[in-house]
Structure 1
Amino acid sequence: MSISATMLRIEGVRQLRNPYTLAFTLAMPVVMYMLFGASAAYASRSAGHGNVSFYVMVSMAAYGTAVAMSSLTSLAASEAKQGWGRQLAMTPLTTAGYAATKLITAVAFAALALAAVFVTGAATGAAADDLWRWAATAGIILGVALMYGLFGLGVGLFFNPDSAAALASISMTFFAFFGNVFMPLDGVMLDIARFTPLYGYVALSRWPLTDGMLTTGQTDPLWVALLSVAVWLVLFASLALAGVKRARRRQ
């Protein structure tokens, strides 16, 4: 059996009942958008090809999507490390089917986090000059966020199952603070931000709106964002691979 519809449904309901998932992957990005985007005095000011509300909405949606991917995949890795595979051997579900079910769940909740922020933004004045900019931004956010699933897998395989998901989401929050996501940075802090895991991802997500223009008046070339994403993708893949090898040595 490749994918179990029953297990997929159970996983979805399980995460919807998880207060941690609801708080950090769905509620927190929406609340932060409302605080720093929709309700701010500068919300309607022009920002690139839209307004400031849209700019903040994109940042919070990217953050929430990255948290959803990393935290849910870290839970899957922790379960596998605890010997869940031996239980699966007693069912028709294959290991590949189990992994696919977990990945679909993670992507679904990442999409839900994205949709929650975008719907809130659309209802509270976030605006872009063209409709395609909404679609392009959403596609970039969800597509590139898949790489944070590798980060979650690595964290889940390396750390204690009880703390892996929390560590993954806390790490994303830390990266967001120092990655020019939550607040505009300048000077040395902006230079440091360019080397953090979320900088290129969020810069690329904002591209349909800003064309690389920063709040400081500087402009990042497209290759800067692409290079950042490529480098961190390789590092996250290496982390996940190292975690798999470590888990196998322990068996």
Structure 2
Amino acid sequence: MIAYLRLEVLRSLRSGGYLAYTIAFPATFYLLFTLIMQAGPMANGTQYEAYFMVSMALYGTIGAGLTSVGSRIALERTKGWTRQLALSPLRPRAYVGVKVATGAMLSVPVIGLIMLAGWLVNDVSLPWYTWLALVPALVVGGLPFAALGIAIGYTFRDEVAQMVSLAVYFVFSMAGGLWMPAMVFPDWLESISHVLPTYQAGELSWRLLAGDQPVSAGTAILAAWTAAFVALAVWRYRRTA
């Protein structure tokens, strides 16, 4: 299982799609938005460059879960790879577990790159313990979307799964306040934003920036979404695997 996990991570790192969607796009957008748009501190006093650093790092983390997990499963189902694995000692549940672990591990490079850009380019200044706490908070925030990626991968085939993953990726990210703070949305859209998993995943890290505990009342909303995505993934897995 460890050998297969290593193979999956190395294969994804050599993928142009992973490099573009998960690393290059979020890092480029972060630099463009922060170097061109000169914004003041957020309402809670957080530096805008730090706030958006977290948003784009989470955006990349979600991309790792949806594209590296969901699209890859759909492609391997189309090519018959999952049927070949059924003949190996690797059990189907272990296969799914490797996919989730792969998504989590692949989120670390984009988190590190965007945090490095925040520090070197935008002079983001945070206590050392906040820098360290942000990494697991962002990885945990992306896990529900790895479960959603599994559900998509076991529901759709190949190119369709990729299009569905990208559509979900952009809609949830924009409506969840990752592209621009939800506080600038119209009231009705801000209310919707606050119940989305992307916003609550971001809250885990945005609260750290403000010096607060990451767990809040909204964490229950994120937990509910996670449970729903996991249940959906299990259902689709059992129907298809």
TM-score tier (shorter): 0.7 to 0.9
Alignment of 1:236 with 2:229, yes or no, is: yes
The residue number in structure 2 matching 1:64 is: 60
Distance 1:129 1:99, change over 3 A: closer
Q: CA deviation at 1:153?
A: 0.5
The residue number in structure 1 matching 2:191 is: 191
Distance 1:132 1:94, change over 3 A: same
The residue number in structure 2 matching 1:203 is: 203
Q: CA deviation at 1:172?
A: 1.8
Deviations 1:85-126 (A, max 9, x none): 331244454445533433332222111121121111111124
Moved more, 66-75 or 23-32: 66-75
Q: Give the unaligned 5+ runs of structure 2.
A: none
Q: How many angstroms apart in 1 are the aligned matches of 2:108 and 2:215?
A: 25
The residue number in structure 2 matching 1:218 is: none
Q: How many angstroms apart in 2 are the aligned matches of 1:101 and 1:179?
A: 28
> Which residue identity is paired with 2:187?
G
Helix, strand or coil: the match of 2:197? coil
The residue number in structure 2 matching 1:169 is: 166
Given that residues 141 and 202 in structure 2 are in contact (C-alpha distance below 8 angstroms), is that contact kept between their aligned partners in structure 1?
Answer: no
Q: How many angstroms apart in 2 are the aligned matches of 1:169 and 1:32?
A: 16
Distance 1:11 1:171, change over 3 A: same
Helix, strand or coil: the match of 2:22? helix
Distance 1:26 1:148, change over 3 A: same
The residue number in structure 2 matching 1:105 is: 102
Alignment of 1:151 with 2:166, yes or no, is: no
Given that residues 130 and 209 in structure 2 are in contact (C-alpha distance below 8 angstroms), is that contact kept between their aligned partners in structure 1?
Answer: yes
Given that residues 68 and 113 in structure 1 are in contact (C-alpha distance below 8 angstroms), is that contact kept between their aligned partners in structure 2?
Answer: no
Q: CA deviation at 1:144?
A: 2.7
Helix, strand or coil: the match of 2:55? helix
Given that residues 49 and 128 in structure 1 are in contact (C-alpha distance below 8 angstroms), is that contact kept between their aligned partners in structure 2?
Answer: no
The residue number in structure 2 matching 1:11 is: 8
1:36-51 paired onto structure 2 within 5 Å:
36-42=33-39, 45=41, 48=44, 50-51=46-47
Distance 1:75 1:182, change over 3 A: same
Given that residues 75 and 157 in structure 2 are in contact (C-alpha distance below 8 angstroms), is that contact kept between their aligned partners in structure 1?
Answer: no
Q: How many angstroms apart in 2 are the aligned matches of 1:166 and 1:112?
A: 24
Q: How many angstroms apart in 1 are the aligned matches of 2:101 and 2:215?
A: 30
The residue number in structure 2 matching 1:114 is: 111
Helix, strand or coil: the match of 1:127? coil
Deviations 1:197-235 (A, max 9, x none): 3111112221111368xxxxxxxx964421220121122
Q: CA deviation at 1:134?
A: 1.6
Q: CA deviation at 1:189?
A: 1.6
Alignment of 1:75 with 2:71, yes or no, is: yes
Deviations 1:27-70 (A, max 9, x none): 11101110112443236x47746421111100110111011112
* Structure exhibiting the larger radius of gyration computed from Cα positions: 1
| Matched pairs, number | 236
